[in-house]
Amino acid sequence: MGQPYPPPRPAGGPRVLGGVRRLCRWVTAAAGALALTGGLIAAGPQASAAGLVQVTGFGSNPGNLSMYVYAPDALPAGAPLVIALHGCTQSASDYSAHSGWPQFADRYGFALVLPQTSGANNANACFNWFEPGDSARGRGEALSVRQMVGEAISRYGSDARRVYITGLSAGGAMTANMLAAYPDVFAGGSIASGLPAYCASSVSAAYTCMYSPADRTPAQWGALVRSAAPAGTASWPRVAIWQGTADTTVRPANATELRDQWTDVWGIGQTPSRTESLTAGTTLSVYDDASGSPAVEVYSVSGMAHGLAVDPGGGPEQCGSTGTYYLDTICSGYHTARFWGLDGDAPDTGSLPAPTGLTVTGTTDTGAALTWNTVAGAASYQVYRDGTRTGTATSAAYTDTGLATGTTYSWAVAAVDAAGAAGPVSPAVTATTTGFTPTCHTASNYDHTAAGRAYRSGGHTYARGSGQAMGLWNTFTTHTLKRTAPDHYAVADSGCPA
């Protein structure tokens, strides 16, 4: 298994840049390249562990990811949802088998979604945390993960207010980006051996972040989060940061910069409210919000190298199994689950049941009309679109507006009692807005980029919206792109009926 980030460039000359988008390589001797990447430059391993179920058709999937789910038997409606992102050269099954998260899904009762990338996206099967086309809101891999959240909420009846995300290494870096881009989706996150949100926007910058992170001010780091989030965001996820002091792949200084970034976003200082000594030489630093609740927690594991902290055994605070980048120290999953509140009771959901009979009665180019059965005692209703609260209705009907044409959405509703407590969310329904006619465009990669149908990154071309790889950015490579929605194009070389 190769390094879970692009390996460093030795002083003697360039080598393969594991983690470069779409198998991009520096030209060197093949033997040296294979030695540096551990021979892992093909497609990543596929998940096949018992208990994992692959879910397909979860959305347009512009990031070309696979969705795997671990859902305990008899999972109740309104349970939390956890998203777990593996590191480079790993897979959903590998992360499921070693991280310990499935046992906490069983213990605390939540659905676990494990997105998976592959060598088709990245040479070492890393999530492309350093690519703007994959890490920004509504784009590439980030959008694919967001679509998995919506699918899981619909499929398992998960509570849209209790969605959490965690990740290791490159998965940790992508977790930071997801928390910044989708603070309206995630209630909390946990970044293990990762980097600050939007620390890099290119491969070369990724190296700098990993080995010599920029010493920005908290305000500068916080500004990167605020600029990535929807305008006007005032509520932020609670963030746990895990870092080994002996990590030579992602330098421990990154944990400090992460701390600075998220405490600034929360508007709190960088002096911990308290510290605590845990097992395995772990120091916990807690940063409380204005109400005295932990907003940011930093776990510094003394002597731990690059990887995820696990603690095999049968004790209540133990979890996981050892392996490459799974290090026997302390169970990070246990402490993270407690930080998120997964070990306690669900938040007050009121006494009203979930509405029944939710139906989309009609769609327009930019809107959809919804109705549902009245819930006795309901003072109002909360309406959720794609897992995010989008409006409030005082009757059993709502018209959602401002939607994109030719786009599929899902909706769910919850009844609110006279005290203002919302009940469980209803099963979701989906519908597609009208009014868009697909078009086809055949041209060189250069002309597609010039026309705005594609974008250039690292000398390569990618279809705008879908993020599909199109090859080198030049006038000699030709593709047909099908415009399936505004600002969304897909490669259609095999035929474009539009």
318 φ, ψ to 5°? -105, 160
Q: What's the Rg (C-alpha) of the chain?
A: 23
C-beta of residue 111 within 8 angstroms of C-beta of residue 81: yes
Q: How far apart are CA 54 and CA 68, in angstroms?
A: 4
C-beta of residue 286 within 8 angstroms of C-beta of residue 241: no
Q: Which residues contact 82 (CB under 8 A, 6 or more apart)?
A: 101, 105, 110, 111, 112, 113, 163, 164, 165, 166, 342
Q: How far apart are CA 107 and CA 75, in angstroms?
A: 11
Q: Name the burial class of residue 466, with classes exposed (0-12), middle (13-18) and buried (19+) by CB atoms within 10 angstroms of its CB.
A: buried
Q: How far apart are CA 339 and CA 462, in angstroms?
A: 39
Q: Which amino acid is at 287?
A: Y
Q: How far apart are CA 404 and CA 85, in angstroms?
A: 29
Q: What is residue 379's three-state secondary structure? A: coil
Give the residue numbers marked as catalytic: 169
Q: Which residues contact 420 (CB under 8 A, 6 or more apart)?
A: 379
161, β-bridge pairs? none
Q: Which amino acid is at 17?
A: L
C-beta of residue 172 within 8 angstroms of C-beta of residue 85: yes
Q: How far apart are CA 123 and CA 145, in angstroms?
A: 20
284 φ, ψ to 5°? -105, 125
CA 467, 185, 105 angle in degrees (round to 5)? 100
Q: What is residue 190's three-state secondary structure? A: strand
DSSP H helices, 203-344, are: 203-211, 218-228, 253-266, 332-340
